[in-house]
Structure 1
Amino acid sequence: MNFIKEYYMQKTAKNETLFSRDFVLTSLSTFTLFASFYFLLITLPIYIQKIGGTESEIGLIIGVFTISAVALRPFIGQEVDRRGRKIILISGILVFLISMLLYDYTKSVTSLLVLRVLHGVGWGAATTAATTLIADIAPPNRRGEAMGVFGMASNVAMAIGPALSMILLQAYDFSILFSIGAGISLVSLLLALPISETMVVHPKTPLFSREALFPSALMFTVSLTYGSIVSFLSLFAQKQGIANPGIFFTVFAVTLILVRALAGKLSDIKGRKYVIIPGMVLIAAGLWVLSTASGLESFLIAALLYGLGFGLVHPSLMAYLVDKVSDKGRGAAMGTFTAAFDLGIGAGSIILGLVLQYYGFQIMYTLSGLIVLIGAIFLIASTGKASRQM
């Protein structure tokens, strides 16, 4: 009750506008970009199997997307500070759109690997620039709330995209699926065109952000587990007799939508650390439930727990990161943070794919839960300056 009272007292005292024109346009452009991305989330592993890929090759193809983004994100972050947010955003969406158009022409694992590298470049550029734009736009004392609300754009896309993509695939074919995904990417591009530049260009900016390393390391442990979800959940669901694995992502996304803005606001009031640690524990719990899931009920409980945890952790870590860096180095910091996120997904897809191949789904998801719990223990045990400031 005290939190609710504090929330409304602070809300009435604020004169700063969160939902500005640029905030809304950036969020809508991000929503459509993520919707296109999520069209491939559970359908791409099926497509890879169709063209003759093995389980380990599925992990490699999923992982190389994020690895290509990781390799370039520090440079992208630097360019976001040097050249401006908008030009990098538009360029990234354009590359993403071209990549979506090319999927229907990839008929081998090798050609798909090459395309995934290109696709990852566009993804890395667009998402780094969009996140930096939001960090610029957000009022400082509503930063956690802003990150939570902005993150809802990707969560709504997750709630719709995977399930819709499976419906389209069952009704039509991969050619139609890829064409619709490309069309949604075009909408993202059109929404980005009117966005105003938010930053004075800085010709000399760092490639990496030292201030971002601590929150980025925590994000890595979380996103490593997410790699096992995005790469192999559809295969696990089919094995367990669940017809549409998109329902997991729908429950996960709806949970995120409900919790993110409140979690970000709570971190503004109570402190980042007190939101992040419970969130990481909930993520581990969700993965352990998933590891023993044998039917739809336990499958959805795992999605709920995982969504609650992710909704607490992600906006709070992003807000903590922005708290620590100056305007001048914000692009580099976002590049470092998002690189850690992508690196975790890529590493999780590849490494946990090998675990899956030799030990099975239960061991893979159990190990994923242990990884994120180690991250939580590290945060609790840390006595460094970064942890104390949280």
Structure 2
Amino acid sequence: MSDFPSGKSESSSVLVTLMPIMAAVLVGFVIIGVALPVLPLHVHDDLGFDTFVVGLVAGAQFAASLVSRIWAGSYSDRRGAKQGVVTGLIGAVAAGLLYLLSLMLVNMPVLSVAILLTGRAVLGGAESFIITGAVAWGLGLVDREHAGKVIAWAGTAMFASMALGGPVGTVLYTSTGFISIALTTALLPLIVLLYIARMPAVAPHQHGEHSSLATVMRAVWWPGLGAALASIGYCAILAFSSLFYTEMHWHPVWMAFTAFGLALMLARTVAGHLPDRFGGARVALVFVVIQVAGMVLMWLARTSLIASFGAALAGFGYSLVYPGLGVEAVSATTPKNRGLAMGIYTAFLDIAMAIGSPGLGWIGGHIGLRAVFLFGAMVVACTAAVVCRLLFTGERS
């Protein structure tokens, strides 16, 4: 049995092992984040298209991500998780080159936007391979009892890079136009490819050792459902907090999302080990209660300070619900299927975001934006029932 100091040393060793993989995730999502705030400006102002085409170009990436999740997971299992990350980074470079090609044809807007749309779809597929391969790679490099750290830290790198990418992309676009976004998308993944080239790979499992898609889906279904329900709260704050603040005349309008993100990253940094130590489902049950409390506080808030505190509380709670349930998903499958399991598990988040945004928007339009956070809290609370089922079946097995 190891004492506490050696446990701290082991945790530091895990962090050092995972750093290059987290760098790949960071870059993979920075190049997504830099484009998000400026794509509408480029498509609308530079190419002259309406909001429908803007939405089409922006949404192509997320649709491609969802479609490619299972493929990315299966590929990582059969060809190796490192190869999955490498494939994703190469895909990101290709997306950047397509961005550049679209810029060469701005005098033919229809052809230019078609190529840009293709680049967005390629980037969506690349994102699936990067995040799914990175988690599977990390799980293969460290002991199984550190699965929660791998999932939590990968998510933290993803979240931080999306937050960083927005302001960086805005500065780049304002300074030099969309060409700087295209060059960033093409060049950053090349740098990471050189960085991870010497990292040890995890040998893929041979054919005949893999469970069927249906078998892995059954194993991941309940943790995935719980994660999807909890993610509706994240969706509510991401999509509607700025509109709510604007309606209430609170400033700055981005404060709720910033508070959510900072609390989430802080919690994962200081408490990311808890799912490994106490069990993913137990930790998820505690933290989902915190998340619900934060959402309810946002619904009740009459000042921006209280609303922002509620958002921070929700972020703190959500921080370990997703990795906690991710530990349950990984534990329910064999190591040779970890890539497919994480691909399916991540797809639940994609589906939640795809359904949650319009659903919450309908509620906000008919009942009011404040009701979005109450409804979000009610959906998130359903996660507790899923977690209780996981705990009950786990104790019986």
Aligned residue in 1 for 2:228: 220
**In the TM superposition, what is the alpha-carbon distance from 1:18 to its structure 2 partner?**
1.3
Q: Deviations over 1:80-101 (max 9, x none)?
A: 1111112221121222333345
- Determine if the alignment matches structure 1 residue 95 to structure 2 residue 91: yes
Q: Secondary structure at the match of 1:328?
A: helix
After superposition, the Cα gap between the structure-2 partners of 1:123 and 1:357, relative to the gap in structure 1 and judged at 3 Å, is: farther
Match of 1:53 among 51, 54, 58: 51
- Determine if the alignment matches structure 1 residue 138 to structure 2 residue 133: no
Aligned residue in 1 for 2:339: 331
**In the TM superposition, what is the alpha-carbon distance from 1:280 to its structure 2 partner?**
1.9
Residues 34 and 166, structure 2, Cα contact 8 Å, conserved in 1:
yes
- CA–CA distance in structure 2, aligned partners of residues 237 and 175 of structure 1: 33
Match of 2:68 among 63, 72, 82: 72
- CA–CA distance in structure 1, aligned partners of residues 129 and 252 of structure 2: 31
Match of 1:361 among 356, 369, 394: 369
Match of 1:283 among 279, 291, 314: 291
Aligned residue in 1 for 2:213: 207
Residues 159 and 252, structure 1, Cα contact 8 Å, conserved in 2:
no
- CA–CA distance in structure 2, aligned partners of residues 185 and 237 of structure 1: 36
After superposition, the Cα gap between the structure-2 partners of 1:305 and 1:18, relative to the gap in structure 1 and judged at 3 Å, is: same
**What is the identity, as a one-letter code, of the residue corresponding to 1:38?**
G
Q: Which runs of 5+ in 2 are unaligned?
A: 104-108
Aligned residue in 2 for 1:274: 282
TM-score (structure 2 length as normaliser):
0.79
Residues 261 and 315, structure 2, Cα contact 8 Å, conserved in 1:
yes
TM alignment of 1:143-292, pairs within 5 A:
143-168=147-172, 173-204=177-208, 205=210, 206-208=212-214, 209=216, 210-233=218-241, 248-291=256-299
Residues 84 and 197, structure 1, Cα contact 8 Å, conserved in 2:
yes
TM alignment of 1:3-152, pairs within 5 A:
8=4, 11=7, 17-21=13-17, 23-44=18-39, 51-53=49-51, 58=55, 64-100=60-96, 102=98, 105=102, 111=114, 115-152=119-156
- CA–CA distance in structure 2, aligned partners of residues 278 and 94 of structure 1: 40
After superposition, the Cα gap between the structure-2 partners of 1:382 and 1:334, relative to the gap in structure 1 and judged at 3 Å, is: closer
Aligned residue in 1 for 2:317: 309
* TM-align CA RMSD: 3.8
- CA–CA distance in structure 2, aligned partners of residues 220 and 124 of structure 1: 17
- CA–CA distance in structure 2, aligned partners of residues 166 and 90 of structure 1: 28
Q: Deviations over 1:103-127 (max 9, x none)?
A: 5849689846655433221111111
After superposition, the Cα gap between the structure-2 partners of 1:120 and 1:269, relative to the gap in structure 1 and judged at 3 Å, is: same
- CA–CA distance in structure 1, aligned partners of residues 177 and 36 of structure 2: 16
Percent identity of paired positions between Structure 1 and Structure 2: 23
Higher relative contact order (CA 8 A, sep 6+): 1
**In the TM superposition, what is the alpha-carbon distance from 1:282 to its structure 2 partner?**
2.7
Please say which of residues 365-374 and 329-338 is displaced more in the overlay. 365-374
**In the TM superposition, what is the alpha-carbon distance from 1:136 to its structure 2 partner?**
0.8
After superposition, the Cα gap between the structure-2 partners of 1:170 and 1:228, relative to the gap in structure 1 and judged at 3 Å, is: farther
After superposition, the Cα gap between the structure-2 partners of 1:283 and 1:43, relative to the gap in structure 1 and judged at 3 Å, is: farther
TM-score (structure 1 length as normaliser):
0.80
**Rg bigger for which structure?**
2
Q: Secondary structure at the match of 2:205?
A: coil
**What is the identity, as a one-letter code, of the residue corresponding to 1:126?**
I
- CA–CA distance in structure 1, aligned partners of residues 304 and 348 of structure 2: 32
After superposition, the Cα gap between the structure-2 partners of 1:327 and 1:185, relative to the gap in structure 1 and judged at 3 Å, is: same
**What is the identity, as a one-letter code, of the residue corresponding to 2:76?**
V
**In the TM superposition, what is the alpha-carbon distance from 1:315 to its structure 2 partner?**
2.2
- CA–CA distance in structure 2, aligned partners of residues 281 and 310 of structure 1: 9
- CA–CA distance in structure 1, aligned partners of residues 37 and 147 of structure 2: 32
**In the TM superposition, what is the alpha-carbon distance from 1:130 to its structure 2 partner?**
0.7
**In the TM superposition, what is the alpha-carbon distance from 1:281 to its structure 2 partner?**
2.6
**In the TM superposition, what is the alpha-carbon distance from 1:295 to its structure 2 partner?**
6.3
Aligned residue in 2 for 1:3: none
- CA–CA distance in structure 2, aligned partners of residues 15 and 169 of structure 1: 40
- CA–CA distance in structure 1, aligned partners of residues 234 and 8 of structure 2: 37
Q: Count residues with an aligned counterpart.
A: 381
